[in-house]
Amino acid sequence: MPSFSTWLSRLPSSVFRAGVRHKSQSTSIPKKLQRVRDHSFDDLMEVEKKVRRALKLQELILSHPAGSLPVSRLDTLARRHHRFSPQESSSFLLRHPHVFHVFEHPVQRVLHVRLTPRALNQLRLESDALSSPLSSAVSRLRRFLLLAAPSYRLRLEHIRLARADLGLPEDFEQSLVLSHPTHFRLLSPSGPDAEPRLKFVEAVHNPDEPFPIAAVELAREREYRARGSDAEDARFAFPIQFPPGFKIGKYYRIAVWKWQRLPYWSPYEDVSSYDLRSLEAQRRMEKRAVASIHEFLSLTVEKRTTLERIAHFRQAMGLPKKLKEFLLQHQGIFYISTRGNQGKLHTVFLREAYRKGEILEPNDVYLARKRLRELLLISSKKANFDRMLTSLGRQDDGFQCVPALNRKEFFGDEDAIYGGDEEGSGSGSDSGVENQFIE
């Protein structure tokens, strides 16, 4: 009877290759995973859809010197510049009277719109939050530039697109870049009058200066101090929170455990001189890409940004080409939502920064922007009640309330647009057209 070693030698080599392939697949994170929805993030993006529309209309209203303009003119500009459908902007104004004040002009006798004191106060708070702590904005911008190793430079136009996400002031080129020559350098190959897309912003970095500590390392330290887990397991681990309903199998759990223990290079470290041809180096670079996106989202004000915006910095930060598949591979760290813009944009959230749709560590800019979301969520049926309370003891400001008949003739049938059960689709006695500001 042949021995066991002799029997093994007679087996075809394909058996051994198949066994090795099966083992490698079971101990590595799958490349393609089905996206599991998280309703807490999707519901937040549904509210963000209203915020985007409100911001577009606010921009058109504030662009007028008087701070108000006819509703018909606003509807024309919204269709021309922001692709609103006919009467969409007019109906949006009526549905959100706590943000937009519609009144009849005393001279022109046509409907005008302006922002309410609550909306103006929200804009003022956000402007103050963006302009007051310039030191923190300088630190965020500099850390963001250091992610683009080894050049530490990014296009000025790309930074301008991500300005709102990073919480930078509108005039950041002058107030941050040019005003802090010890931290930044503005590069223009064609001179100071070159086009913005040809300008670059570079971080002034001293080789002897230590790199900043990544946000994931601080979170890892807090997790280690709070739970006291094994030091070897927590040394290179990322905080992971899988979405509800995510199926975690035995081999996937093993693969995640091995990936968590895998060493990697810091996202601020220059790896251009390293030999990246080995399989171990490629795995470290993949984990480094996760750390780079994690750091990018940590630098944003609301701990989120769009996938298309991350793609602008893909080459500078050394990120993989197929970003969406790469992020879906790590659903315990990031979440991609397609809600809020008819699936045209993909919003990437940092999971560990949120709990039940709210940021765990809010900042002043986030709190100011949250006030706008709260105003948009107030029912329009409450407008007349608020107006009655705030109008006690006041005299009429000269603006007469628009009759229900004229309102329906001008704006069209709201019930046909939104349905009778929708919020704020009441009749003329409960309309959103006010003769007083809601303060």
Rounded to an integer, the average pLDDT of 18-23 is 38
Query: Which H or E run includes 79?
Result: helix 71-82
- Cβ partners under 8 Å of residue 351, min gap 6: 239, 240, 241, 332, 333, 334, 335
Identify the three-state secondary structure at position 237: coil
Confidence label for 28 from pLDDT (cuts 50, 70 and 90): low
Of 57, 41, 33, the residue nearest 346 (C-alpha): 41
Residues above pLDDT 70, as percent of the chain: 77
pLDDT at residue 53, as a whole number: 93
- For residue 370, pLDDT beyond 60: yes
Supply the mean pLDDT for the chain: 80
Residues above pLDDT 90, as percent of the chain: 52
Which of 324-338, 340-354, 394-408 is most confident? Answer: 324-338
Q: What is the pLDDT of residues 63-104, one digit of tens each?
A: 998 899 999 999 999 999 998 999 899 999 999 999 999 999
Q: What is the pLDDT of residues 293-337, one digit of tens each?
A: 999 999 999 999 999 999 999 999 999 999 999 999 999 999 999
Confidence label for 437 from pLDDT (cuts 50, 70 and 90): very low
Of 260, 252, 316, the residue nearest 287 (C-alpha): 260
The DSSP code for 242 is P
Confidence label for 345 from pLDDT (cuts 50, 70 and 90): confident
Identify the three-state secondary structure at position 354: strand
Of 360, 272, 287, 274, the residue nearest 329 (C-alpha): 287
Q: What is the pLDDT of residues 154-207, one digit of tens each?
A: 999 999 999 999 999 999 999 999 999 999 999 987 666 667 678 999 999 888
Cβ distance 37 to 243 under 8 Å? yes
- For residue 30, pLDDT beyond 80: no
- Cβ partners under 8 Å of residue 383, min gap 6: 97, 98, 432, 434, 438
CA distance 229 to 261: 13
Question: Could you tell me where the DSSP H helices lie in 211-358?
Answer: 215-227, 231-234, 250-260, 279-299, 307-312, 314-317, 323-328
- For residue 398, pLDDT beyond 80: no
